[in-house]
């Protein structure tokens, strides 16, 4: 048959590669900055918090979003655009779509980098970006999918290699996750409330959050592993059969695992149990994949000593193995009771992000760039130094965080012989500072390594010339294909990318539907509590400030049913207490104490205490790592959106009275005046119009609902 000549588009691969390097540096630099903010929490220039835009609470989401969507996101597209063309023996479907995809994605990242420091957020971890950006992500994701499927359809290679399955599953699942998580009701052109409330919002969030890890940080990178490791080792994957089992079992099981983020919370127990069972089972496909990756190097282990690409890849796959062993263990209730809310989880995710994603990206870049520029890597020695700096950086990062996590948990749970809690929360915070400092050292080493890579790749690029259009030849695919009798099922599915996509979709929807639907449809899942009432207008405004400042990044609002928690924070949290929380704010980390009952019981402080604490946290809690929120004392509360907020909440089912949007303002002013006059009795003179008044109102409301009646009424 006549062979066709065509050209691979290397320019788009180069663009994404540059983007992953640049955004990687930015994301890691922000990470290092926020790590150091916990060591030097004072306002700039005495510390590293620059209020309001660069306080910890606003920068932490910037760090996570930058690393996940900018660094890893561009890393995915680099690898996909390179390998897909070669595996399909075709140029990308449309240069124009590639171009729109590239610039669209970078614009989304820039928009995120602007909006997050401005406090424009939805307050859901890894789903913080505001609704117009969510719409843009949807459009650009469709462009990516269109370009990918276009390429697959016009391919010259009959079969779809296993890497492409992972890319297809990534595309489909991320689309589903993004659409479900973005269920929100806009009330202005920048702001919205989550459609879901309380427990349901929590379940959607962690179904999304966990699967963002699964289908953004894992499956596409497994696809890259199945392409780049064999290429770098110059030998085929260890077992292709294992890769088939790995693929289908991984995508089937992953989608169920989300509820393990919510163990011992107010989430219905059946959903927690499903999450645990599937999380534990996940170890098998994950390790199947890891073993398949590592054994691809069978007979080539001697090369790992000299080949820097392989070194990075081996550490990446090993880190994947460690993280995916730890994940199922952390999903066990007994382990979760110790690890949840502590720095242990921070260590766990960084083994994944720095080890798996980071090292595989670096290995891929060191392999790709010299090939596309038809030259050799500028310095192998520098790349080796990078390797050791990264590896040591991960160790110096992870060990202090594991240590910190175990210590935190032990200190939180420690009772004296007299039966009282041994440590105040603040004591546990100040004890952590040396660990936070050591972690910063690990992060610095890792970042310095990346800067070595930037220099090395820069010199490599300067020494070569980009082959923008790389010539290739292949015979076209025969249009007609005779189906043989007794043809293997996978042969059929591998030829049919659309059917493949549909089958992947069905597989991931099974878990999603069984997990989410009962909680949504069945009222009995969330027992209602008659004394729980909607937030007052001032509390609602205060809550929006709480979300805006990212308080959830350090404070949970979910008391688990342990004696150590009920002693410290009060009665454990009930599902029915959160029915008006759009979005939920349970949090996932306790750098500061839980606030679920900050307005009642042991934790109750007067308004004056909160005022002084927001102005200068360390004046009330010596050694606190919380940033100063003195700007809340100066800025007036913007109440122009209040009617729109009340109307949006009503649409979402919050039972405000009819026409309340018109009366809300008067209630807000009345409550503001009450708080400002109570502050006056504490020798604090402040206008009732300041933001801090609203935030105090919200904090004082927290957890008070169930103590309103003398006898709380539960239907269970």
Residues in touch with other proteins (CB under 8 A): 83, 86-87, 157, 159, 161-163, 227, 230-231, 234-241, 244-245, 248-249, 252, 256, 268-270, 273-274, 299, 488-491, 507, 510-511, 514, 518, 522, 524-525
Query: In this structure, is the dihedral angle defined by the CA atoms of residues 79, 221, 210 and 519, taken in order, positive or negative?
Result: positive
Coil, strand or helix at 161: coil
The nearer residue to other proteins, 266 or 316, going by C-beta atoms, is 266
From residue 78, alpha-carbon distances to 21, 82, 362 in Å are 11, 6, 12
Question: Nearest CA to 138 among 98, 106, 179, 188?
Answer: 179
Is the bond leading into 45 cis (omega within 30 degrees of zero)?
Answer: yes
Shortest distance (Å) from residue 551 CB to other proteins: 30
The nearer residue to other proteins, 240 or 388, going by C-beta atoms, is 240
Question: Nearest CA to 408 among 434, 381, 386?
Answer: 434
Shortest distance (Å) from residue 226 CB to other proteins: 8
The nearer residue to other proteins, 234 or 683, going by C-beta atoms, is 234
Shortest distance (Å) from residue 4 CB to other proteins: 15
| Radius of gyration of the chain measured on its C-alpha atoms | 26
The nearer residue to other proteins, 86 or 178, going by C-beta atoms, is 86
The nearer residue to other proteins, 353 or 372, going by C-beta atoms, is 372
The partner residues of 185 in beta bridges, in order of sequence, read 193
The nearer residue to other proteins, 271 or 675, going by C-beta atoms, is 271
Please identify which residue in the block is written with the tokens 């083994």. 351
From residue 26, alpha-carbon distances to 120, 264, 388 in Å are 20, 36, 21
Shortest distance (Å) from residue 3 CB to other proteins: 12
The nearer residue to other proteins, 231 or 615, going by C-beta atoms, is 231
- The number of residues in the chain equals 716
Shortest distance (Å) from residue 439 CB to other proteins: 38
Shortest distance (Å) from residue 470 CB to other proteins: 12
β-pairing verdict for 469-474 and 192-194: unpaired
Q: How far apart are CA 149 and CA 160, in angstroms?
A: 12
The nearer residue to other proteins, 371 or 459, going by C-beta atoms, is 371
Shortest distance (Å) from residue 89 CB to other proteins: 9
The nearer residue to other proteins, 45 or 236, going by C-beta atoms, is 236
The nearer residue to other proteins, 36 or 271, going by C-beta atoms, is 271
Contact 247, 165 (CB under 8 A): yes
Q: Which residues of 272-304 are buried (b: 16+ CB within 10 A; e: fewer)?
A: bebbbebbbbbbbbbbbbbbbbbebbeeeeeeb
Shortest distance (Å) from residue 252 CB to other proteins: 6
Shortest distance (Å) from residue 489 CB to other proteins: 6
Q: How far apart are CA 170 and CA 216, in angstroms?
A: 7
From residue 344, alpha-carbon distances to 191, 202, 409, 423, 494 in Å are 33, 21, 9, 19, 41
The nearer residue to other proteins, 421 or 477, going by C-beta atoms, is 477
Structure tokens at 643: 């009617």
Contact 250, 219 (CB under 8 A): yes
Shortest distance (Å) from residue 431 CB to other proteins: 37
Question: Nearest CA to 139 among 100, 189, 91, 92?
Answer: 100
Shortest distance (Å) from residue 298 CB to other proteins: 9
Contact 649, 656 (CB under 8 A): yes
Question: Nearest CA to 438 among 24, 25, 38, 27?
Answer: 38
From residue 446, alpha-carbon distances to 309, 321, 380, 397, 449 in Å are 17, 20, 18, 9, 5
The nearer residue to other proteins, 153 or 673, going by C-beta atoms, is 153
Shortest distance (Å) from residue 360 CB to other proteins: 16
Shortest distance (Å) from residue 237 CB to other proteins: 5
The nearer residue to other proteins, 231 or 650, going by C-beta atoms, is 231
Question: Nearest CA to 201 among 258, 254, 256?
Answer: 258
Structure tokens at 248: 């289908």
**Start-to-end Cα distance in the chain:** 74
């Amino acid at each position: 048959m006549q062979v066709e000549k065509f050209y691979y588009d290397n320019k788009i691969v180069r663009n994404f590669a540059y983007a992953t390097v640049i955004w990687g540096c930015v994301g890691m630099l922000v990470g290092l900055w926020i790590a150091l903010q916990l060591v030097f929490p004072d306002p700039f220039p005495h510390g590293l918090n620059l209020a309001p835009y660069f306080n910890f609470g606003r920068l932490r989401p910037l760090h996570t979003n930058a690393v996940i969507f900018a660094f890893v996101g561009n890393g995915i597209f680099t690898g996909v655009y390179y390998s897909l063309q070669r595996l399909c023996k075709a140029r990308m479907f449309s240069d124009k779509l590639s171009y729109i995809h590239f610039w669209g994605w970078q614009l989304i990242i820039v928009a995120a980098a602007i909006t997050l420091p401005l406090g424009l957020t939805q307050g859901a971890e890894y789903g913080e970006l505001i609704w117009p950006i969510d719409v843009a992500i949807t459009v650009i994701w469709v462009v990516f999918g269109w370009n990918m499927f276009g390429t697959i359809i016009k391919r010259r290679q009959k079969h779809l290699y296993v890497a492409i399955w992972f890319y297809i599953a990534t595309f489909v699942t991320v689309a589903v996750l993004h659409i479900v998580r973005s269920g929100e009701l806009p009330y202005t052109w920048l702001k919205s409330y989550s459609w879901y409330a309380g427990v349901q919002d929590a379940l959607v969030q962690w179904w999304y959050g966990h699967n963002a890890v699964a289908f953004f940080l894992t499956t596409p990178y497994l696809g890259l592993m199945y392409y780049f490791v064999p290429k770098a080792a110059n030998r085929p994957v260890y077992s292709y059969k294992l890769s088939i089992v790995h693929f289908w079992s991984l995508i089937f099981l992953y989608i169920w695992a989300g509820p393990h983020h919510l163990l011992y919370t107010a989430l219905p127990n059946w959903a927690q149990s499903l999450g645990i069972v599937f999380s534990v089972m996940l170890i098998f496909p994950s390790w199947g994949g890891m073993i398949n990756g590592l054994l691809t190097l069978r007979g080539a282990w001697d090369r790992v000593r000299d080949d820097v690409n392989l070194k990075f890849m081996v550490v990446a796959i090993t880190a994947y193995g460690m993280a995916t062993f730890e994940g199922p263990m952390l999903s066990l209730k007994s382990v979760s009771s110790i690890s949840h809310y502590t720095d242990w989880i921070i260590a766990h995710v960084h083994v994944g992000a720095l080890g798996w994603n980071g090292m595989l990206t670096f290995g891929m870049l060191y392999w790709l760039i010299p090939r596309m520029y038809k030259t050799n890597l500028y310095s192998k020695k520098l790349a080796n130094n990078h390797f050791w700096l990264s590896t040591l950086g991960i160790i110096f990062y992870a060990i202090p965080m594991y240590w910190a996590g175990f210590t935190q948990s032990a200190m939180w749970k420690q009772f004296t012989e007299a039966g009282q809690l041994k440590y105040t929360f603040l004591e546990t915070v100040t004890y952590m500072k040396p660990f936070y400092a050591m972690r910063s050292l690990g992060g610095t080493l890792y970042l310095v390594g990346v800067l070595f890579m930037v220099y090395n790749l820069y010199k490599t690029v300067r020494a070569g010339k980009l082959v923008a259009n790389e010539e290739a030849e292949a015979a076209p695919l025969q249009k007609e294909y005779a189906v043989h009798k007794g043809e293997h099922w996978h042969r059929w599915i591998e030829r049919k990318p659309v059917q493949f996509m549909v089958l992947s979709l069905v597989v991931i929807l099974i878990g999603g539907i069984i997990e989410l639907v009962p909680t949504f449809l069945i009222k009995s899942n969330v027992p209602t509590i008659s004394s729980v009432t909607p937030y007052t207008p001032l509390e609602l405004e205060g809550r929006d400030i709480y979300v805006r400042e990212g308080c959830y990044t350090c404070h949970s609002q979910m008391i688990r049913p342990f004696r150590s928690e009920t002693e410290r924070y009060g009665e454990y949290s009930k599902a029915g207490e959160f029915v008006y929380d759009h979005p939920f704010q349970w949090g996932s980390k306790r750098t500061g104490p839980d606030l679920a009952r900050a307005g009642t019981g042991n934790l109750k402080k007067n308004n004056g205490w909160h005022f002084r604490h927001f102005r200068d946290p360390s004046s009330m809690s010596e050694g606190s790592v919380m940033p100063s929120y003195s700007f809340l004392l100066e800025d007036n509360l913007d109440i122009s959106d209040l009617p729109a907020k009340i109307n949006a909440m009503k649409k979402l089912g919050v039972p405000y009275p009819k026409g309340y949007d018109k009366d809300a303002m008067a209630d807000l002013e009345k409550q503001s005046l009450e708080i400002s006059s109570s502050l006056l009795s504490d020798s604090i003179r402040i206008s009732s119009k300041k933001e801090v008044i609203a935030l105090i109102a919200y904090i004082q409301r927290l957890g008070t609902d169930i103590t309103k009646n003398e006898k709380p009424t539960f239907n269970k």
